[in-house]
Amino acid sequence: MKVGIIGGTGGMGEGFALRWCANHEIILGSRDKQKAQTVSENHIKNIKNSKYAEKVKGTIRGSDNLAVAKESDILILSIPYENIQSTCLDIANIIDEKCIVVSPIVPMSRNQDGFYYIPFQEGKKSAGTMVAENLPKCNKIVSAFHTISEIKLKDTESALNADTFICTDNKESLAIISNLVSEIDGLRPIYLGPLSLSYQAEVMTPMILNASKQNKLKHPGIKLV
């Protein structure tokens, strides 16, 4: 499959690219096409110099965000919450009707008490809901990957030993994304419910970060036992 990542030059984009290039064609997206291509080339060089190279059957390449959106079978929106509306406006009419759009976006900020979930504090909508409202023609929207450690995701020599919660109204997309989740060593997909429950998955991220800071935990995640 072609897995596109808008905002793919960031840390989470790197982690997704390294993990999924084992089996898929990864396309990193950026507003700056040259930047995306340079980052992709660096990933490829690093893979060639590692033990992980033996597992890689796919590819990584870079392009601009619009080209990535047009080509992708699965499109990851690794973008800030405040960029949802503008990004969706750019891609709404160019993504394929079969494309699955995935939101790992967490609307959070920080004050003197710690990290907090913006929709609860400021009366705004969850990221999953925002993506759905701004991509009205897309019925394959999935909310997932909110509670994964970026550091652990990029470490291809280690398993994550964690769960990720999935919200979607589309059962076909649920099956496909669940399989994609399972391709990441040590990551288990847990279906949480329809997209309207996305806030329940998103709100866990500021909770984890606060617990991490207060208890000096390194790169924690969540696993149901």
Interhelix angle 84-91/127-134, rounded to 10 degrees, is: 30
Tell me whether residue 225 is in a domain.
no
Q: What is the mean pLDDT of the chain?
A: 96
pLDDT at 50 (0 to 100): 87
User: Would you state the structure tokens that stand for residue 37, as one six-digit string?
Assistant: 């291509």
Q: Give the tens place of pLDDT for each residue, 151-186.
A: 999 999 899 999 999 999 999 999 999 999 999 999
pLDDT at 89 over 90: yes
What CATH number is given to the structural domain containing 139?
Answer: 3.40.50.720
In degrees and rounded to multiples of 5, residue 138 shows phi and psi of -100, 120
Q: How far is the C-alpha of 176 from the C-alpha of 53, rounded, in Å?
A: 25
- Please give the tally of structural domains in the chain: 1
pLDDT at 201 over 90: yes
pLDDT at 67 over 90: yes
* CA separation, residue 67 to residues 72, 75, 106 (Å): 9, 11, 25
pLDDT at 96 (0 to 100): 93
Tell me whether residue 106 is in a domain.
yes
Strands 114-117 and 108-111: antiparallel
Q: Give the tens place of pLDDT for each residue, 103-119.
A: 999 999 999 999 999 99
Which residues does residue 115 pair with via DSSP β-bridges, in sequence order?
110
Q: Give the tens place of pLDDT for each residue, 11-34.
A: 999 999 999 999 999 999 999 999
In degrees and rounded to multiples of 5, residue 192 shows phi and psi of -95, -30
Q: What is the mean pLDDT of residues 89-110?
A: 96
Containing domain of residue 152, as a range?
Answer: 2-215
Tell me whether residue 136 is in a domain.
yes
Tell me whether residue 123 is in a domain.
yes
Q: What is the mean pLDDT of residues 108-137?
A: 96
Q: Where are the alpha helices (DSSP H) in 62-166?
A: 65-71, 84-91, 118-122, 127-134, 150-154
Tell me whether residue 85 is in a domain.
yes
The verdict on pTM exceeding 0.85 is yes
Gyration radius of the chain's alpha carbons: 17
Supply angle C-alpha 203, 9, 132, rounded to 5.
45
Residue 51: band (very low, low, confident or very high) from pLDDT cuts 50, 70, 90: confident
Q: Let me know: does 63 contact 35? Beta carbons within 8 Å.
A: no
Sequence letter at residue 69 = A
Tell me whether residue 93 is in a domain.
yes
Tell me whether residue 221 is in a domain.
no
Residue 65: band (very low, low, confident or very high) from pLDDT cuts 50, 70, 90: very high
Interhelix angle 11-20/33-48, rounded to 10 degrees, is: 50
Q: What is the mean pLDDT of residues 122-148?
A: 97
Element (DSSP H or E) covering residue 26: strand 25-30
Tell me whether residue 64 is in a domain.
yes
